[in-house]
Amino acid sequence: MANLESVHRRSIEQRDEFWQGEAKRVHWETPFEQVLDFTNPPFARWFVGGKTNLCYNAVDRWLDAGADEAALIWVSTEVDERKTYSRRELFDEVNATAAMLRAQGVGPGDRVLIYMPMIPSAVFAMLACARLGAIHSVVFGGFASVNLASRIDDAKPKVIFSADAGSRAGKVTPYKPLLDKAIELCEHPPQSVIIHDRGLHAFEPVAGRDVDYDGLRRAYWGQTVPVQWMESSDPSYVLYTSGTTGKPKGVQRDTGGYAVALASSMDYIFGGKAGETFLCTSDIGWVVGHSYIVYGPLIAGMATILYEGTPVRPDGGILWQLVQDYKVTVMFSAPTAIRVLKKQDPALLKKYDLSSLRALYMAGEPLDEPTAVWISEGLGKPIIDNYWQTETGWPILAAQPGIEPRPTKFGSPSFPVYGFDVRVIDEQTGQDLGANQKGVVAIVPPLPPGAMSTVWGDDTRFVDTYFSSVPGRQVYSTFDWGLVDGDGYWFILGRTDDVINVAGHRLGTREIEESVNSHAAVAESAVVGVADSLKGQVAVAFAVLKQPEAYESDDAKSALEREVMKVVDSQLGAVARPSRILFVNALPKTRSGKVLRRAIVAVCEGRDPGDLTTIEDPSTLQQLKETL
């Protein structure tokens, strides 16, 4: 059995040799000429000159090994449907979708924006784009029109793929009105919109623009679209993530490096085997859904479950029922989902046969120790925390049982993953720190295969955002605090910037502030992430009013709070809505005018706000305490 440290060291010190071996896990139509081109740091090009295709590796490659084996399993507790697609059926659906996109003029390098619920046609659309060499950009179905419009204008898609509506917890969310409004707001509207009408919400198609998915599917059924072989560094998709400014960042992913990284991770980290079943409870609108609902399991020859529903409907045993019914071997979820299940009948953990399940993996936000202990004891299965980001595409820190089984520590995502040269760095000096010293978690470039290659359309922002914050060193900042204990286990201690993590959803506080400030009554605001036992963090807003005397009564303040929340809902979607909007006379600031967000968070969480020598008016913090 290989040693974890030696494998990691080899992946850093003998990169070419290590990744040459891992690249054999995927099909190359044209062999690559060079493993890594790092002549223009921090930009890394992996498997230079090699040609491959994500769709081919996920779908076509597995037909000969068993065309009738399950590939995509759709379960919806929202509309009470289940359907299993074999590898052959998935191939047929993806080809029909590729043919309809091709008929809309989509070709290599064109963008297709996918604004869909968790339904099979969304996965077909992603894989069809990959087949054509088009670049997909999936936008989470909960996003509101303004948010969606900014992504449309940045990606400039030729086609948008959407649906009439989604559903969550039995409540229908109409997508079509949100999409129509977003397109109205756009400077770069799409040529056409393909709408999958699920019959959940009536709508009027826009003449000359909207096209019916079912009609196209019938028209192009049975067609086979040739695979477009892509150079390894060609973009596969753009996925937007909140930043510390209002403008979203389009994380650009390559093709060959991503395929290799996912294939490798499915073995070394997740232990998935061809013919088994993988259950990931994320959403395709997030990076976990891209990597471990769609591409990772399919590239590994596994069946993957696409679940539309919540962890508690029809009851808190639904996820464990899926494990039993489909003999799931590997499950991937988020701490928020497990914290929700803690409120359910504990007997549900013992109701179903979970003998097929080898491990439960957790990511998306820090996994607190009480939750980890509860689910570990309840399931009697290994609980494996792992840490990564939209930008990296796959885990930075994780136990890697496929290389060497090691005990895990609750609260720790274990060890650096091969390929990631991870350090804890002093943010002031740029020096590496020792054991039990808190610093910024950073990665010494080159970033490994599968990590972001740049920010879509903005190389300068890629360098300025990620590689320019540590003095004297060009290293990738995760913008997370962390430390390594004396045993070599890593711990993540929270954000260094203004991005918060609400139930696994990354939200930029600046975006929410801009939305709150857009209300006519608000002069300025500060939004912070406050620890929450269920969601990990929640957003709390403190707003200063232009005319506070007009809102002196509690009723007036409550009415205004509801109004401002509606503004945030309409602009950013319910996922970004603060848990509270509290009105104060002034915000605590430094003498240079910078809002002391860390002090605000400390007050909200009942902690000592620390050194306040830089604060201009200490009474502002006292007012925060009184308001809370």
Q: How does pLDDT run across 492-541, given as a tens digit for each residue?
A: 877 776 677 777 776 777 778 878 988 989 888 889 888 888 888 889 99
Decide if pLDDT at 603 tops 90: no
Quick one: average pLDDT of 82-108? Answer: 98
Token code pair at residue 116:
């869909």
Coil, helix or strand for 113?
Answer: strand
How many domains are contained in the chain? 1
pLDDT of res. 53: 98
Of residues 612 and 331, more confidently modeled = 331
| Rounded Cα distance, 410 and 568, in Å | 36
State pLDDT tens for residues 460-473: 999 999 999 998 99
Give the Cα separation of 602 and 276 in Å (integer): 46
Please give the Cα distance from 104 to 133 (Å, whole number): 14
User: Could you tell me which residues are beta bridge partners of residue 211?
Assistant: 194
Residue 204 has pLDDT above 80, yes or no: yes
Give residue for tokens 């770069």.
188
| 181 three-class SS | helix
CA dist 580 to 47, 453, 516, 552, 583, Å?
Answer: 49, 38, 12, 17, 10
Residue 475, CA atoms < 13 Å, CB-side half-sphere: 24
For residues 213 and 28, give the distance between their C-alpha atoms in angstroms, rounded to a whole number. 32
Distance between CA atoms of 181 and 382, rounded to whole angstroms?
Answer: 46
* pLDDT cut 70: percent of the chain above it: 96
pLDDT tens, residue by residue, 233-253: 999 999 998 654 557 799 999
CA dihedral 522, 528, 531, 535 (to 10 degrees): 70
According to DSSP, residue 352 is labeled S
Whether 332 is in a domain gets the answer no
328-377: per-residue pLDDT in tens?
A: 999 999 887 888 888 788 889 999 999 999 999 999 877 877 788 889 99
- pLDDT value at residue 368: 74
Q: What is the span of the domain harbouring residue 562?
A: 503-627
Q: Is the peptide bond before 446 cis (omega within 30 degrees of 0)?
A: yes
Phi-psi region of 151 (alpha: psi -120 to 50; beta: other; left: phi over 0): alpha
Q: Where are the alpha helices (DSSP H) in 142-252?
A: 145-155, 176-185, 213-220
Do 112 and 125 meet the contact criterion of CB atoms below 8 Å apart?
A: yes
* pLDDT for res 616: 64
pLDDT of residue 245: 52
Q: Which of 371, 509, 488, 366 is nearest to 424 (CA)?
A: 488
Distance in angstroms (rounded) separating the CA atoms of residues 601 and 599: 5
Whichever domain contains 587, its CATH number is: 3.30.300.30
614 confidence band (pLDDT: 50, 70, 90):
low
For the segment 305-326, the average pLDDT, to the nearest whole number, is: 96
pLDDT at 592: 46
- The residue written with tokens 């395709």 in the block is 284
Q: What is the CA radius of gyration of the chain?
A: 24
pLDDT in tens, 412-461: 999 999 999 999 999 889 999 999 998 999 999 999 999 999 999 999 99
Residue 104 CA to residue 578 CA, distance in Å, equals 40
Q: What average pLDDT is seen over the chain?
A: 92
Q: What's the sign of the alpha-carbon dihedral 38, 39, 43, 49?
A: negative
- Residue 557 belongs to some domain of the structure: yes
The answer to whether residues 48 and 37 touch, using CB atoms and an 8 Å cutoff, is yes
- Residue-level pLDDT at 302: 98
pLDDT at residue number 611: 54
Does some domain include residue 585?
A: yes
Q: 593, exposed or middle or buried, with CB in 10 Å at 0-12, 13-18, 19+?
A: exposed
252 CB-near residues (< 8 Å, 6+ apart): 235, 237, 238, 452, 453, 454, 455, 456
| Residue 584 belongs to some domain of the structure | yes
Residue 617, pLDDT score: 73
Question: Does 541 reside within a domain?
Answer: yes
Residue 202 CB burial class (10 angstroms; 0-12, 13-18, ≥19): exposed
Per-residue pLDDT at 243: 56
Distance CA 172, CA 66 (A): 38
Answer yes or no: is 559 within a domain: yes
Provide the CA 25 distance to its chain's centre, in angstroms. 25
Q: Is residue 523 part of a domain?
A: yes
CB 437: neighbour CB atoms within 10 A? 12
Residue showing tokens 């539309």: 308
Question: What string of DSSP letters covers 556-595?
Answer: HHHHHHHHHHHHHHHHH-GGG--SEEEEES---BBTTS-B
Q: Is residue 597 part of a domain?
A: yes
Give Cα 27 distance to the centre of its chain.
Answer: 26
- Tokens coding 291: 């990597």
Alpha carbon distance 322, 186 (integer Å):
41
pTM of the model: 0.85
Question: What is the mean predicted confidence (pLDDT) over 479-493?
Answer: 92
Residue matched to tokens 């009415």: 559
Q: Which amino acid, one-letter code, is at 346?
A: P
